[in-house]
């Protein structure tokens, strides 16, 4: 069984004062967490990526702040 979802990512390069907004669309299967961490790693350097999200009807939020960047994202999966 597979589910689809949307992940909205905001990556802000604090040292440069600029923001990149990336949408991660679609996903399925059991590799949710590996895809999630891959999304974090790619958020500030890539455009549109695909994300596996296997938990329907849930919202997941995360924020990471370092000396150089702030990344926040929210995943909303479809039922």
Q: Determine the pLDDT at residue 31.
A: 47
CA distance 51 to 42: 11
Phi-psi region of 57 (alpha: psi -120 to 50; beta: other; left: phi over 0): left
Q: Determine the pLDDT at residue 10.
A: 55
Q: Determine the pLDDT at residue 74.
A: 61
pLDDT band, residue 2 (cuts 50/70/90): very low
CA distance 21 to 51: 15
Q: Determine the pLDDT at residue 46.
A: 36
> Which run of H or E residues covers position 9?
strand 5-13
pLDDT one-digit tens code per residue, 4-58: 455 555 555 555 555 554 444 344 444 455 555 555 555 444 333 333 344 444 4
CA angle 73–27–38, rounded 5-degree value: 50
């Amino acid at each position: 069984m597979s589910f689809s979802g949307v992940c909205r990512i905001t990556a802000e390069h604090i040292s440069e004062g600029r923001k990149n907004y990336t949408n991660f669309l679609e996903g399925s299967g059991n590799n949710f967490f590996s895809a999630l961490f891959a999304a974090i790693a790619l958020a500030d350097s890539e455009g549109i990526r695909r994300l596996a999200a296997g938990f329907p009807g849930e919202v997941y939020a995360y924020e990471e702040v370092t000396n150089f960047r702030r990344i926040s994202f929210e995943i909303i999966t479809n039922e």
